[in-house]
Structure 1
């Protein structure tokens, strides 16, 4: 490898893409194409970066399997950053296996880290943790250690394990400082701000207040019965009852939880659960049926008692009922939660991340666009959707993933 290639690689490792381009911008040999691609990715021109890396992979001969595998790993990372979730994950796995077979532990670890980040993004936390457990980050260089700890923190945050998240972010901050890469240090600080930003509102006894992730984690252990409108579940310290697929039942549970220790009139429950402006006998009959279903679903946590004017929630073990709601309640909150990361998403990638049909996601995007909440650019398959981050929007609790104890 000649001196210019070596100098360009060192510049990229130090987070100086312009310095790398000064050395290899006019060269078209395979190593230069690969370095130019990585430099363009660091600058933010992901389309050009992908094209350069593909050219580099083709330019490397069959005997240069390690170099080609490194190009595949870099291309996979660009696909992840650009939210191209249709990029073939098997190609990344094969590249990682090639790097491990040839003793390139650092790049193999980076490939595994990219795989884990993809799993984390789409909410497959158990798989991400299992894959992460096979990686020893101690011998990695500082930049790779920082990236590894960011993933550890991301999983902990999604599981509402704030102590573990804080420890991982501290390790990430030290590694990023050792690497002395400004972009990496900024990424760590952005992740750290999640722990000091209100992630939900608590409604209890008619009063509201914002909650940090640490306070949300401690809520079930406080002895309260929590009606969680971020995850659409009802839970206490021992048990969680998911109602995400039963929106009518959850609407009733939330209305009863917000009114506790009082009751809720039948007309109000009908309006909240069935969107009915005028209650007739059919609505009241349906309400009785749905109340019976709710009573059966949450019977181990609470009872739903009839009163003279409506219904009231009566917890069995808990001494308090608290309702957890997003700080900002919007239409299609899960879609907005993904778009709030500031990246541009295709509707197909959103469908994969949300586990929903592409048509369902497309309808949600069209409704949000009509309301001025999101914007798109491009046409056809190249169409991308994005929105600036919404201050105070719960980008953590609305993303898919398991809760503590699940």
Structure 2
């Protein structure tokens, strides 16, 4: 930019914004995009890339309307740029935006939710057990249990069963993964339920019943459980790989804020299931999702269409 090359400077900022977006630093990503100047002053290709980044930020913030508007602007810019790969990427983003964004579990039944419906849940007065972010939200109060997996497992089990109670044996199986129940398990359950009561006290009570425990929201309202569209043990890793870009295990660990060894175990499990693939060896090893079936990857290379 100091040399007057504003286009390359804007491109560098867009790359940085994408990195920040993948790391979950949405405000910083938005600031990086803003620093590249007004979109109208950029070439169509960069306008499309910027629109994709803006859509990603809006999507992470559960702002469905803003995400769709950004994708529409990106699609228009990509058509003007005439870059097939960019058009295809935006088309894929549209498909992802239209795909189920979550599942709503209430009263023992589940149904798929669109991104707009997930966004609407943010304004509900119901008690929401959010299995996507591992938190419990009641009104304006959110209680994170992201670092308390046992407590969240108990909260989710109680939320899914509401308005019924959950037997002690079922809670032990969900929280501790034990099929057999003895006095030590029951004692541990009492301790963890006590901790859960303390955490949820501002938004709900956990009452003991004859058979187990019952979640009682305060004030009186319904309980909803928001879950991922599919229960996948390594969903966060798959979500990052879904963009089609090759990732190293160290980069994935940095983006997820977890250990590299844990990420490697997840990658190996996903590869064994055929959900991802790897190439390269050692430090050069990269992971990505398989190519789209029935589509020659050469068609996604940047370049003009043959006009015949």
Normalization by structure 1: what TM-score?
A: 0.68
**Shift of residue 370 of structure 1?**
4.1
Q: Partner residue of 2:186?
A: 284
**Shift of residue 389 of structure 1?**
8.1
Find out whether 1:241 has 2:143 as its counterpart. yes
CA contact (8 A) 1:340 1:388 kept: no
User: Which structure's CA Rg is the greater one?
Assistant: 1
Q: Relative to total residues, which structure has the larger helix share, 1 or 2?
A: 1
Distance 1:238 1:374 in 2: 39
Find out whether 1:113 has 2:36 as its counterpart. no
> Which residue, 91, 96, 101 being the options, matches 2:2?
101
Closer, same or farther: CA 388–232 of 1 in aligned 2, 3 Å: farther
Deviations 1:235-254 (A, max 9, x none): 13412211111000000000
> Which residue, 19, 25, 30 being the options, matches 1:129?
30
Distance 2:229 2:54 in 1: 26
Q: Partner residue of 1:76?
A: none
Closer, same or farther: CA 390–182 of 1 in aligned 2, 3 Å: closer
**Shift of residue 112 of structure 1?**
0.9
Q: Partner residue of 1:380?
A: 282
Alignment of 1:297-316 (within 5 A): 297-316=199-218
CA contact (8 A) 2:100 2:229 kept: yes
Deviations 1:257-294 (A, max 9, x none): 00000000001000100111111111111111101111
Q: Partner residue of 1:205?
A: 107
Higher mean C-alpha displacement, 341-350 vs 149-158? 341-350
> Which residue, 30, 54, 62 being the options, matches 1:152?
54
**Shift of residue 368 of structure 1?**
3.3
CA contact (8 A) 2:146 2:152 kept: yes
Distance 2:280 2:212 in 1: 52
Normalization by structure 2: what TM-score?
A: 0.89
Closer, same or farther: CA 354–137 of 1 in aligned 2, 3 Å: same
> Which residue, 60, 75, 82 being the options, matches 1:173?
75
> Which residue, 112, 120, 130 being the options, matches 1:218?
120
Closer, same or farther: CA 132–241 of 1 in aligned 2, 3 Å: same
**Greater RCO structure (CA 8 Å; 6+ sep):** 2
CA contact (8 A) 2:277 2:290 kept: no
Higher mean C-alpha displacement, 244-253 vs 137-146? 137-146
Closer, same or farther: CA 221–248 of 1 in aligned 2, 3 Å: same
**Shift of residue 256 of structure 1?**
0.2
Q: Partner residue of 1:268?
A: 170
Deviations 1:210-246 (A, max 9, x none): 0111100101313221111111111134122111110
Q: How many residues align?
A: 292
CA contact (8 A) 1:341 1:389 kept: no
Deviations 1:153-181 (A, max 9, x none): 11000110111111111221222222232
Closer, same or farther: CA 308–204 of 1 in aligned 2, 3 Å: same
> Which residue, 90, 110, 127 being the options, matches 1:188?
90
Distance 1:296 1:104 in 2: 57
Q: Partner residue of 1:346?
A: 248
Closer, same or farther: CA 310–337 of 1 in aligned 2, 3 Å: same
Segments of structure 1 that go 5 or more residues without pairing to the other structure are 1-99, 392-406
**Shift of residue 353 of structure 1?**
1.2
**What RMSD over aligned residues (CA atoms) do the two structures have, in Å?**
1.9
Distance 1:195 1:324 in 2: 18
Distance 1:377 1:185 in 2: 26
CA contact (8 A) 1:202 1:211 kept: yes
CA contact (8 A) 1:340 1:390 kept: no
Distance 1:106 1:372 in 2: 40
